[in-house]
Every structure is written in structure tokens, then in C-alpha cells.
Structure 1
Amino acid sequence: MNTPAPLRKRFALTATVLAVIALSVGGTISMVGLSANASTAPTAAAAGAPVDVAEVVQRQIIDWQSYSGRIEAVDRVEVRPLVGGTLTAVHFKDGALVKKGDVLFTIDPRPYEAEVARAEAQLAGAEARAGYTASDLARGQRLLGDNAIAKRDFEEKQNASREASANVAAARAALRAARLNLEYTRITAPVSGRISRAEVTVGNVVNPGAANAPLTTLVSVAKVYASFDVDEQSFLKYVNPARAAGTTVPVELGLANEDGYSRKGRVGSVDNRLDTASGTIRVRAIFDNADGQLVPGLYARVRLGGGEPHQAVLIDEKALGTDQDKRFVMVADKDNKANYRQVVVGAGHDGLVVIEKGLQPGERIVVNGLQRIRPGDAITPTVVPMQTQAATAAPAAAAGKA
């Protein structure tokens, strides 16, 4: 069937209009998509790597120098017998705390008791002889006054009296020695402290002398020494001026299982010469040890303070990067971009490190995420406090106990 011409023209016009409308809608959608992409592109480009930043802090500190040392006992005694004999008793438990004067060992006292009795008898005989010769001398003096005795006889009586007096003194000395030997059969603690194990058991015969092995050893525990070697520069800068001025040099100590320095002490003594081979001088610091935790021989981390308190710039050690032989930090500027900054690092202080040059108090530096950025990169900072090792160790310790 044939379609009329006017109707065909109407269908063609309608199709053309629909095509134009479709093209317009498609173009509009495309423009909207391009506009949306264009508007989000700057936002994606502006977003930087997420990092933690903290403000550089300034505090008043004392310069500390760190050293390694060993704990030593103030008093260390090798307990040895002063008389020989059979060991009859051990009066302590291995590793126990003892007080000065406590009985540690007993040696069979019977031979020494007999010796005391013999010395007492000899003293009594000497005193009797001395009494007789004294009265005989008095008679001789009266007879000499009457010229009834020869001069020689009188001198013999006088000499016999003097000899008897000397024998009395010798007998008294022998008795004191016998009593002292009897006292030595009870071996007592010369100082208060912690005793080691008994090296000789009951029934063994012991003898005096340094060539023989000691019965046990005893160390004091109320106070201990920490001995360490100080380099020449630190000695001249801190220790020597304090000694000359009569002031106390502060010392702090930490054990191998501790993060910080839990105990405070003072310099007790300094050696009388510098070791030219090592360039160091031996220093001994003294610490209280009321809890008995400082055992002689333990490794000790010691730090020595010196100089007057002064202001210093400090940062977390995690913020430091290494560039060959240089140390650097990334400083966050006001536009949140990372800037490379070389710094000069000083000594550590309470978990932070001193920055001697390169930073000012209040500047923001990257403390976490340093490996994700490069100089000039944009960053997305999260402000956190400048943490110390002591602050971070406390929650960890609490969690470990829980």
C-alpha cells in the first residue's frame, strides 16, 4: 500500500527532531561527566600521604653522658678460719641475709677449752711464785738495812722477784691468746650482707691460712658500687671541675632489663691515674640498695650528669632519617608540604634526642610515615604529641602485666 506524500514528510520531520533531541541530551551528559572529572581531579591531586607530625619541644635539661659498667659490692669478704680443727656446725642457709656478728660456722672447741684451762693454771702458778718472791724481797730489804744480809744475796732476791713478775705477764698473755683461739672456733659474720654457699661441710678439718680455700664469701647489700670508665674529655669537662668545687656529680643507673634509669646515686671515688692505653679513668658511683635488687656482677647502664641546667631542643628519635653520613628530618610547612632539613644530633635525654642545630621550638616535623614521603611531597598531617620512650613503655608494661 502506498503512503501519501504529506504523511511521509511528517514522519521524516519527526525523526529528524528526535535525532536532534538525542544528540543534545548525549552532549549534555558528556559535558556533565567531563565537568565532574575536571572538578575532582584537583582534589585527588591535592591529597597527600598520611603522616603523623609533632611539634619540636624545648625543655631545661642537664647534659648526660652514657657509659657501661658493672655492679660491685662495697664490702666483699672471704670467710676463712683463724684456727684449725674439725667443723662441727654450719649455722646459715645458702644465699641468706646475715647480720654482723651472726655465727656462721663452729669448729670443735674442746682442744681450745683445754688450752685455756692450762693457761689459767700456768697463770695461777706464776702469780703464786711472784707473790713469794715479792715477800722474800721485802725481807731482804729489811735485812739489808740492818747489814744482816750480803749485797749479792739481796740482788738475787730482787732479780727473782722481777723474773716472777715477768712470768706472770707472760702467763697472762698466753691466757689471752688461748681465750682468743677459743673465740675463733665460733666464726662470725664480719659485716652484714648476703652470704654465699658453704664450701666446706660439717665433719671436714679446716686450717687457717690464705693458701686454703675460703669457707664461704659474704657481700654487703645496703649500698653498692657501679664502676665504669670515663673518657678523658668527659672527665675534664664534668668530673674534675666538680671535684675541685666540692660539688656532687649526679649519676643515674639502669639495669639491662630496664628502659630508663631507675636509680639515682653519686660519684663515690675516682681513680688516681688515667689509663694511657684506653684514655679512660675508672670512676665508682655509689647507690642505695635497700631492696637488694642490685647484685654484684650485674651489667649496669650508667649516665653521668654535668654542667648547669640549660634549654635544649628535643625530638623523638623516630623522626630522624639518615642520608649517608648526615641526619635529617622532614619539616611540615604551612602548606602541608614536606621539607628536607639537615640537623646536628646531640645526646639522648629521657627517650628524646637533643638537636644541637637545625630546628627551632614549635616547628612541626614528621614523626611517623617518613618512609612514605620525599622532599616537596604534599602530606596529610595528623598532629600527635612528641612521645618519649618512658611514656610509651608504661602502657606496654601495664598491658604485659594484664
Structure 2
Amino acid sequence: MPMKTTINHEKSSLHPNRVEMAIPVKPALNGAYVADYCENPTAEGNEGLVPLIPPQPHETNAARHTPPLRAPSAIAPASSKRFPVVLVSVIALLAIGAGAYYFFGSKHETTAAAPATPPPVQATVQTVAPQQVRIWNEFSGRLQAVDYAQIRPEVSGRITEVRFEDGQTVNAGDILFVIDPRPYEDAVAKAKARVASAKASIEFTKAEQKRAEILIRANAIAQRDFDQSASSDRVAVSNLDEAEAALKQASLDLEHAYVKAPISGRASRAEITVGNVVQSGPSAPVLTSIASRDGIYADFEVDEQTYLETIRNAASGNAQERLIPVQLILAGDKDHVYDGTIWSFDNRIDVASGTIRARAKFANTDAALLPGMFVTVKLASSRERSAVLIPERAIGSDQSKKFVYVVDSGNKATYREIQLGKSIREQRVIESGLLAGDRVVVDGVQHVRPGSLVQPTEITPAIVPVKITSVESAR
């Protein structure tokens, strides 16, 4: 509250025209008094404010009669007049600021506290439906020719001709090499001469035998002479047999001088060229080799569990095993698939590896499959089974876990962990985690989060063919 000021109209003895005012003083902390200044609006000659300080007990008389200081009249009156105006202005500004904060600041806080709902995520979904599928297992294998032959010389001599080009397709019976035939032609001629001589000897001995029979009946010769004649006839027959056998061997050697293809197929290069001498026998060099092209084998190892799953529902017997489908994929050419069947399983499980040797046979009509190629062999189960399949691109990875997003009836995405099975043509078998009728996000997975609102676009599930034809495999 403002303090009342009492005005004393007594005139001062020093200044007769000044009216002094009694102004209440404020006590200080140490018991002293501090005077307020007051302006006398009625007294003439009053030029400013006069501090009124009551005398203190400890002050001396000299100090008590010291005239009080006077504030400048040009400054004090202006400050006193402005103070109420400034105070009112400050209060008004504070009120305006408080009102602005109330109407604008509080509304901004409310807006920030309640952010706008994000729009739905565009995504394609697929409704899960079971399909009849055949499960395929992959193995590594090597190609082997159905027929393969290494050509070695069967007679010794100098090579005089090479009658094929490297890599040429040859037929069984085609002459590939010629070993100098002249020595063998001479041997044949000699053998023929011995045969002729043996035949002449037989004719003579048979005639002698007939005469000996006549003479022995007439007792004209001794029994010993008759026996000698009969023995000579038998020796002549044996000599003819020997001569004929020698002729056959000479003729065979002459035939072997012309090295022929034992099978049809593609010939390798000529390892021995014209002018080189070759020797027959166990250490004979390889002249060339031939691999058949009409069909080819794929040899691979199958683990025991897969073997049992493959043949469990198949009837025993090689004929039934050959009905099990197999696919072959070349390394670096996964778009081209060859179809074949199991040719045979071995008769035992290897105890060291726990696998069984298997062989599949494939047609090689385009001659693109070569022996020795490294291939991937896919072995199918003997029967079909019902399974849930989804596209590979719908599956996400969360460290070691696999998951999908399932869209519920309210079009909200839900995180669902799944267990994967085999892969079939860009589709993946789901062993657990999904049920028929679930809607799975296929495209747009990277934009979906658990609880996200989804604007779904339904797509039709891809039908995986149980039996894959050659036409489909080639695409």
C-alpha cells in the first residue's frame, strides 16, 4: 500500500518561503533511517526534493546541523511521473503475452501431442492355399557317358594313316587309324600256303590209308605199317587245323592293322599321329577315345534318409525305381533343366559316408551334356503331398529367423515367424507358421511394419506343376 505523506506547513527559519513536509522514513537493517524524497508543489523556490533524515543519537551536533542534500529538480520530477505509466505498460505487455501463449502455445502443444495417422501401405497379398506338390532334393553329381571306349593298338607297327578329324562324330566300324599292314598281309599269305600244304598232305595220307586197309585185309602188310598209315592221316588233319588257325590269326592281325571305332559317338583327338610306331599289349598307348552321345548318366550320392523317403512308397524293383523323376541342372545354366529318371541304386549303403550310390539317365539329344561335367541333380519324392507354398520374395529374415507379414481382417499387418521347407521354382514350402486362408504380404514387405495399416491388392497364387515337362524346363 502507498504510504501517506503528512505536510507540515511551518516555515523554515532558514528559508521563509519553503514549506517543509514531514515524510515517513523507512528503517534500515542497522537501525538507521532512510528518507524518501518528496516534491512540494505549492512552495515557491522549492527546486527539488528534500531528504528529511531525523537526527541519530550517535551523530554529532556538527553533523546534525549539516544542511541536507538536494536532488536535481530536472531529473526527479520526470522519473516520478513516468513510473506509473511504465508499470502499467509492463503489466499490459505481460497480459498480452500470457493471452497469446494461452491461445497459440497450448494449441501447438496439443497438435504436437497428437500426430496425424500415417496413410495405409500399398502392398500385394496372397491368400494361402494348400497345393499338391512333389518334394525335390538336390545333390551334386558328375556326368558319365553311357558308352565310352579308349582305343589302343592291338598290333604293333608304324601308323601310316589317321582317317578322322579331332572331335568328329564316328560310327561303329569306321576306320580311325591304319598301322602298316604289309607285314600282316605277308603273314596271311604264309598262313594260307600252310593251309594249302596241310590239305595236300591230308589227301596223300587218306589215299595211303585206303591202300593200307586193302593190304591189311589181304595180310600183305604188317599191322605196324597199317597203324603208321593211320597215324600219318591223323597228323595231316591236325596240321590242317593248325594251318587254318594260323591263317585266322594272321587275318585277324591284318584286320587289327586297320583300327576301327568299336562304338558310335564323338571321337577325341588323335593322341598318336602318322609316322609313330606303336606297340600292342598291356602297356599299349591310347590312340583316341570315343564317348556315346545318345544318352548320358549322372552319378551322385544320396543320403540314407532321402533314399528311404524316395523309395518308401515305390514298389521294389529296378523297373519301379526308373519311374522316379529326376532333374539335371548345369552349373551356370540354371534356366535349362533336363528331365530324366533314376536308372539304378547301388546294392548297399556306404557305412563311412552313410550314402548310397545312385545313377540317373538323361537323353542327350542336343549333345550339350558332356562326360565329366559337374551338375546339380534334383531327386523327386515318389509321391505327391499337400503343402503350403508362398513366393520366396514374401519371406523376410530376422537374424536366424524367417518371417512373413500376415494381414488380418482389419487390414493390419502382423509379424509371423515361419519354418521353411524345400524350394520349388521360386516358391517355398512352409512347414509351420501359416494356415490355409492366411493373407501374406508378397510385394512391399520392406515398407510394412508390425501393426501397419495395409491397403492390400490380392494376387492369385502361382500353381506349381507336379510333373515338369521338357518344354517347361527349357523356358
User: Which TM class, normalised by the smaller chain length?
Assistant: 0.7 to 0.9
Q: Among residues 266, 271, 280, which one is paired with 1:194 in the alignment?
A: 266
Say which is worse superposed, 348-357 or 140-149, in terms of deviation.
Answer: 348-357
Q: Among residues 242, 250, 254, which one is paired with 1:170 in the alignment?
A: 242
Report what 2:449 is aligned to: 374
Say which is worse superposed, 350-359 or 163-172, in terms of deviation.
Answer: 350-359
Report what 1:343 is aligned to: 418
* Mapped partners of 2:278, 2:312: distance in 1: 49
Change (3 A) 1:253 1:168: same
Q: TM-score, normalised by structure 2?
A: 0.70
Report what 1:179 is aligned to: 251
Report what 1:160 is aligned to: 232
* Mapped partners of 1:371, 1:242: distance in 2: 44
Instruction: Name the structure, 1 or 2, with higher relative contact order (CA <8 Å, separation 6+).
Output: 1
Counterpart secondary structure, 2:386? strand
Q: Among residues 193, 198, 204, which one is paired with 1:126 in the alignment?
A: 198
Structure 2 residue 279 is matched with structure 1 residue 207: yes
Counterpart secondary structure, 2:124? strand
* Mapped partners of 1:187, 1:54: distance in 2: 66
Query: Cα distance, 1:378 vs. partner?
Result: 2.1
Say which is worse superposed, 66-75 or 269-278, in terms of deviation.
Answer: 269-278
* Mapped partners of 1:301, 1:107: distance in 2: 43
Counterpart secondary structure, 2:383? strand
Q: Deviations over 1:288-308 (max 9, x none)?
A: 111101111112111111232
Change (3 A) 1:243 1:268: farther
Q: Which is higher, the Rg of structure 1 or of structure 2? A: 2
Query: Cα distance, 1:377 vs. partner?
Result: 2.0
Query: Cα distance, 1:54 vs. partner?
Result: 2.7
Counterpart contact for 2:311–2:382, Cα < 8 Å? no
5+ unaligned residues in a row in structure 2: which ranges? Answer: 1-102, 466-470
Q: How many residues align?
A: 357
Q: Deviations over 1:243-292 (max 9, x none)?
A: 61552211111212333562221111212221222111110001111110
* Mapped partners of 1:123, 1:310: distance in 2: 75
Counterpart secondary structure, 1:218? strand
Counterpart contact for 1:260–1:350, Cα < 8 Å? no
Counterpart secondary structure, 2:334? coil
Alignment of 1:1-400 (within 5 A): 45-239=117-311, 242=314, 244=316, 246-247=319-320, 248-260=323-335, 262-386=337-461
AA aligned to 2:377 is V
Counterpart secondary structure, 1:77? strand
Report what 1:23 is aligned to: none
Query: Cα distance, 1:50 vs. partner?
Result: 3.4
Q: TM-score, normalised by structure 1?
A: 0.82
Say which is worse superposed, 213-222 or 269-278, in terms of deviation.
Answer: 269-278
Change (3 A) 1:241 1:54: closer
5+ unaligned residues in a row in structure 1: which ranges? Answer: 1-29
Counterpart secondary structure, 1:272? coil
* Mapped partners of 1:209, 1:240: distance in 2: 49
Query: Cα distance, 1:83 vs. partner?
Result: 0.4
Counterpart contact for 2:313–2:382, Cα < 8 Å? no
Q: Deviations over 1:92-134 (max 9, x none)?
A: 1111111111111111111111110010001101110111011
* Mapped partners of 1:308, 1:124: distance in 2: 71
Indicate the structure with greater helix content: 1
Report what 2:81 is aligned to: none
Q: CA RMSD in A?
A: 2.6
* Mapped partners of 2:132, 2:248: distance in 1: 66
* Mapped partners of 2:256, 2:224: distance in 1: 48
Counterpart contact for 1:103–1:187, Cα < 8 Å? yes
Counterpart contact for 2:142–2:300, Cα < 8 Å? yes
AA aligned to 1:163 is V
